[in-house]
Amino acid sequence: MNIATPPQVSTNTLRDAIVRHLCYSFGREPDFAGLEDWRMALSYAIRDHIADSWFRAAGTARREGAKRVYYLSMEFLIGRLLEDGIVNLGLVDQAREALAALGQDYDTVLADEPDAALGNGGLGRLAACFLESLSTLGCPAYGYGIRYEHGLFRQSFQGGRQIEAPETWLLQRHAWEFERPEALFRIGFGGEIEETGGKVLWHPAEHVDAEAYDTPIVGWQGKWANTLRLWSAKASDPFDLPAFNRGDFAAAAQPEALARTISRVLYPDDTTEQGRELRLKQEFFLVAAALRDILARFDKEHSDIRKLPEKVAIQLNDTHPAVAGPELVRILHDERSLPFEEAMEIARGCLSYTNHTLLPEALESWGEDLFGRLLPRHLQIADLIDNAHYEANPSRTQSMRADHQVKMGQLSFVMAHKVNGVSALHTELMKETVFSELHRLHPERIVNQTNGVTPRRWLLACNPRLSELITETIGDGWVADLERLRELEPAIEDAAWRERFDAAKRANKVDLSNWMAEAQGVSVNPDAMFDVQIKRMHEYKRQHLNILETIALWQEMKDAPNADWTPRVVLFAGKAAPGYAFAKDIIRLINDVAAVLNADPETGGKLQVLFLPNYNVTLAERLIPAADLSEQISTAGKEASGTGNMKFALNGAMTIGTLDGANVEIREHVGAENFFLFGMTASDVTERRKIESHAAKAIEADPRLARALQAVRGGAFSPDEVDRYTHVADNIAGADYFLVASDFTEYWRASREADAAFRDPATWIRKAALNTARSGWFSSDRTIRGYMQDIWAARSYLSD
Ligand code: NBG
């Protein structure tokens, strides 16, 4: 199949399109246009070209009766889309020049776009990278999610404390979606089950309409574009006219208000479950709308429902959409009259499930009361699935229906033909821990697909300086074939080339410093090592280990202010779940420590700490290209994979990290000598926890740790409230479940190794550049190829 590449677009054509949209789509004459008008007009001009490849792709998939991949996810952390579109269509120069001709600055116009934060962290960002790779690879696919009115909250600090405000991305005009009022499905909840003549009918008590909004996601060079279809909840019966006529306006508007709560907020946590009933409603809402849509498309093209697995692959992104199992079985059995066993087989043929965490508190399970109240027929079907599974596997000891619960991890496993982990270590641990019994019963089912990141956004677009150097050195083939970065290795041995690599990094650091001076009012030394930890706040990710080590370093610097210290700027960013008090205390502690350290004239210029507010995709794009050191310091066995770790390595930062998640594979690829390893392994962690008073022993053995902890405990960073952090110190000195104390000494050692390496620029730059050259395997194109082959049996419709 030869797919034509999009026509070349000249600067003049693009300029005319911008003006045309400004006038005729937005009713604004150029002389009166504001920044948002220009941003919208440029977006529409770009969107026209994306739509062209979108139509071509959809046409090809229809004509070929292609198997479609459906990625069901409660989160899509897409961030800004304008630059993505421009970069993937190869229109950067044209867009820049067209805007300049119209008196507008390209970067300013791009920066006006709101960051669509429809996700919490890595899981949501992975879904976004996957959509882009699916389009780049020409694999027909849809992402299905929820069009939250309020994405993840906006974070600011007051007196160092996290303040949450609702995110309002839809208040600004959004250029990318097409409303599809015709794609409307009625979704039911609650109600009764009726059994007549061997048939079971579900009569829901309550209904909500799901309306589709489509965003085209274009791949590299515009050869293909897939759809992100987000569902918005509307009242089936939006307006209570009798109530209105009685003059009760509030009651009249109630149906609409109630329905809309379903797509109002993204639950602000990636590891703990809350807002039980509404959350389950959201999950079923997404799943039910998506399955109806999938089946409607299938029915248009095919007549035999038994062929469903040949044409439909449905990926469950974590257990959040796990109710897709029972819902698909219900449709096939109750509505389409297939025998139960066959309905289950067909559903399993379509479904597969990705596990993204082993943290026990994040493994969803629903009380059967709640589940049965909301989804009475699905509770019955969950029982039937469980019974069928038990009958086929009588040696089984654990049930997905034990303890009056519906356990979504086990349900997903049983209903999936493949279950995957997201890094080699995580997949092995999955086999040994959460799914050990199911793995014994179904040894073929678990496969690994190590995560990846899209190089278009995470190198080409966010780091133009390094990208240009790479392209100049090895050509631009790397953008779609990232492993070709290996071809940089000979150049890295050339001192002049290394200087250019360093110059790119240094310029990125100057840019970041200028931005921080402007946006945060803090000036930092761009020659210092930029040491960056950016990710959700969680004890297992151990931001508190990082700040403790920073405190210890500061104390040591004060002991010997004239020693040859490697200057560091320690940067943090990340949001804490609003209900996660300890994580919020760590944010405050870091801000308090920053205030003391940054004001200390003795260490000024040598050690600075900064917590940047409101971490999001856009901020990541700014920080990652400027980082020297990437902090990946989770307690071994806890971080399923990580994807930030890959972005940093790709952009030429060195990692300081534990043998956790994908760190293990990153170290294998970049070389052990180019990675600062420290800490316990996952099995050390298990053993260590068995030792009585392990934290106290570690503290006793390391005076630096003892002194840093004492400063925290004694109020050195909270003089106005001396015992503010007593509980933090107690936590680390006491149970210390995440083994901060036990890993401290090794972490200190690895940090000093990093310091020493940084003082020898020639060596450092070489190591950093090797990180870039050897990170090509971590492209999400490689990951998606793995899913296509091992899980979906899906193919590409691009010829080259
Ligand atoms: C997260 C893991 C990360 C991983 C991403 C994407 C959840 C539940 N899990 O380690 O914590 O990189 O998923 O797989 O958000």
CA of 347 to the centre of ligand 1 (A): 26
**At which residue do the structure tokens 């940090």 appear?**
751
Q: Using an 8 Å Cβ cutoff, are 618 and 573 in contact?
A: no
Catalytic residue among 96, 333, 535, 724: 535
- As a whole-number percent, the residues of the chain with pLDDT over 90 amount to 91
Determine which helix (DSSP H) or strand (DSSP E) holds 657, and give its type and residue range: strand 654-657
Q: Using an 8 Å Cβ cutoff, are 701 and 748 in contact?
A: no
Confidence of residue 702 (pLDDT cuts 50, 70, 90): very high
CA dihedral 193, 195, 198, 204 (to 10 degrees): -30
Confidence of residue 240 (pLDDT cuts 50, 70, 90): confident
Domains and CATH numbers, the chain: 11-64+92-114 (no CATH), 65-79+119-155+173-451+784-792 (3.40.50.2000), 527-775 (3.40.50.2000)
Q: How long a stretch of residues is the chain?
A: 800
Catalytic residue among 136, 319, 618, 643: 643
Angle at 91 between CA 90 and CA 96, to 5 degrees: 145
Q: Which of 641, 646, 664 to mutate to test the pocket of ligand 1 (most atoms within 8 A of CB)?
A: 641
- Which residue's C-alpha comes closest to atom 13 of ligand 1? 123
Q: Return the SS3 of 605.
A: coil
Query: What does each C-alpha distance from 284 to 128, 186, 189, 332, 757 come to in angstroms?
Result: 21, 12, 9, 17, 52
Residue 306: is its pLDDT beyond 80? yes
Q: Which of 74, 272, 354, 422 to mutate to test the pocket of ligand 1 (most atoms within 8 A of CB)?
A: 422
CA of 615 to the centre of ligand 1 (A): 17
Active-site residue flag, 647? yes
Closest ligand 1 atom number to CA of residue 643: 12
> Cα(529)–Cα(515) distance, rounded to whole angstroms?
17
Q: How many helices (H) and strands (E) does the chain have?
A: 33, 23
Model pLDDT, residue 272: 63
- For 20, phi then psi, to 5°, come to -60, -45
CA of 122 to the centre of ligand 1 (A): 5
CB atoms within 10 A of CB 256: 15
Residue 656: is its pLDDT beyond 50? yes
Give the β-pairing of 199-203 and 192-196.
Answer: antiparallel
Q: Which of 120, 357, 638, 778 to mutate to test the pocket of ligand 1 (most atoms within 8 A of CB)?
A: 357
Q: What is the mean pLDDT of residues 338-348?
A: 98
Q: Which of 118, 123, 643, 646 to mutate to test the pocket of ligand 1 (most atoms within 8 A of CB)?
A: 123
Determine which helix (DSSP H) or strand (DSSP E) holds 5, and give its type and residue range: none
Q: Using an 8 Å Cβ cutoff, are 676 and 628 in contact?
A: no
Catalytic residue among 647, 713, 724, 767: 647
CA of 382 to the centre of ligand 1 (A): 27
Write the pLDDT tens digit of every residue in 479-503. 999 999 999 999 999 999 999 999 9
CA of 451 to the centre of ligand 1 (A): 9
CA of 643 to the centre of ligand 1 (A): 8
Residue 632 CB burial class (10 angstroms; 0-12, 13-18, ≥19): buried
Q: What is the mean pLDDT of residues 638-656?
A: 98
Catalytic residue among 154, 229, 356, 667: 356
Question: Rounded to an integer, what is the distance from CA 401 to the centroid of its chain?
Answer: 30
- Which residue's C-alpha comes closest to atom 12 of ligand 1? 642
* Site residues for ligand 1, CB cut-off 6 Å: 121-123, 126, 270-271, 318, 356-357, 362, 422, 451, 639-643, 661
Active-site residue flag, 536? yes
Closest ligand 1 atom number to CA of residue 422: 14
* Direct distance between the N- and C-terminal alpha carbons of the chain, in angstroms, rounded to an integer: 9
465-469 CB contacts, 8 Å cutoff, 24+ apart: 465/503, 465/504, 465/507, 465/508, 465/625, 466/501, 466/504, 466/505, 466/508, 466/625, 466/651, 466/652, 466/772, 469/500, 469/501, 469/504
Q: Return the SS3 of 189.
A: strand
Q: Return the SS3 of 145.
A: strand
How is 148-190 classified by DSSP, letter by letter? -SB-SPEEEEETTEEEEE---TTTS---S-EEEEEEEEEEEES
Residue 641: is its pLDDT beyond 80? yes
Residue 3: is its pLDDT beyond 80? no
Q: Using an 8 Å Cβ cutoff, are 671 and 649 in contact?
A: no
Q: Using an 8 Å Cβ cutoff, are 675 and 654 in contact?
A: yes
Residue 5: is its pLDDT beyond 70? no
Closest ligand 1 atom number to CA of residue 640: 10
| Per-residue three-class SS string for 752-767 | HHHHHHHCCHHHHHHH
Confidence of residue 245 (pLDDT cuts 50, 70, 90): confident
CB atoms within 10 A of CB 710: 14
Q: Using an 8 Å Cβ cutoff, are 788 and 139 in contact?
A: yes
Q: Which two tokens stand for residue 28?
A: 């604004």
Q: Which two tokens stand for residue 295?
A: 């089946």
Catalytic residue among 333, 541, 542, 575: 541
Closest ligand 1 atom number to CA of residue 356: 9
> Cα(564)–Cα(586) distance, rounded to whole angstroms?
30
Residue 373: is its pLDDT beyond 90? yes
Closest ligand 1 atom number to CA of residue 318: 8
Q: Which two tokens stand for residue 470?
A: 């790479």
Question: Rounded to an integer, what is the distance from CA 541 to the centroid of its chain?
Answer: 15
Confidence of residue 260 (pLDDT cuts 50, 70, 90): confident
Q: Which two tokens stand for residue 234?
A: 């509307």
Closest ligand 1 atom number to CA of residue 125: 6
Q: Using an 8 Å Cβ cutoff, are 570 and 610 in contact?
A: yes
Active-site residue flag, 223? no
CA of 638 to the centre of ligand 1 (A): 10
Active-site residue flag, 782? no
CA of 354 to the centre of ligand 1 (A): 10
Residue 12: is its pLDDT beyond 60? yes
> Cα(185)–Cα(404) distance, rounded to whole angstroms?
31
Q: Using an 8 Å Cβ cutoff, are 756 and 455 in contact?
A: no
Write the pLDDT tens digit of every residue in 50-96. 999 999 999 999 999 999 999 999 999 999 999 999 999 999 999 99
Q: What is the mean pLDDT of residues 352-373?
A: 93
Q: Which two tokens stand for residue 494?
A: 């050339």
CA of 291 to the centre of ligand 1 (A): 25
- Which residue's C-alpha comes closest to atom 6 of ligand 1? 123
Q: Return the SS3 of 637.
A: coil
Model pLDDT, residue 800: 61
Q: What is the mean pLDDT of residues 591-615?
A: 96
Residue 239: is its pLDDT beyond 80? no
Write the pLDDT tens digit of every residue in 730-746. 999 999 999 999 999 99
Closest ligand 1 atom number to CA of residue 126: 6
Model pLDDT, residue 274: 63
Residue 715: is its pLDDT beyond 60? yes
Q: Which of 270, 274, 665 to mutate to test the pocket of ligand 1 (most atoms within 8 A of CB)?
A: 270
Active-site residue flag, 311? no
- For 451, phi then psi, to 5°, come to -55, 165
Closest ligand 1 atom number to CA of residue 426: 10
Confidence of residue 787 (pLDDT cuts 50, 70, 90): very high
Q: What is the mean pLDDT of residues 371-396?
A: 97
Residue 4: is its pLDDT beyond 50? no
277 vs 163, more confident: 163
Residue 270: is its pLDDT beyond 80? no
Confidence of residue 273 (pLDDT cuts 50, 70, 90): low
Question: Rounded to an integer, what is the distance from CA 498 to the centroid of its chain?
Answer: 32
> Cα(167)–Cα(170) distance, rounded to whole angstroms?
9
- Which residue's C-alpha comes closest to atom 9 of ligand 1? 356
Closest ligand 1 atom number to CA of residue 270: 15
246 vs 486, more confident: 486
164 vs 172, more confident: 164
Residue 747: is its pLDDT beyond 80? yes
Model pLDDT, residue 257: 81
Q: What is the mean pLDDT of residues 164-178?
A: 88
Residue 271: is its pLDDT beyond 70? no
Q: Which of 267, 356, 451, 535 to mutate to test the pocket of ligand 1 (most atoms within 8 A of CB)?
A: 356
> Cα(161)–Cα(174) distance, rounded to whole angstroms?
31
CA of 429 to the centre of ligand 1 (A): 14
Q: State which of 111-120, 228-237, 635-644 shows the largest mean pLDDT.
A: 635-644
Active-site residue flag, 356? yes
- For 330, phi then psi, to 5°, come to -60, -45
Model pLDDT, residue 611: 98
Q: Which two tokens stand for residue 721?
A: 């409230």
CA of 126 to the centre of ligand 1 (A): 8
β-partners of residue 532 are 571, 630
CA of 686 to the centre of ligand 1 (A): 21
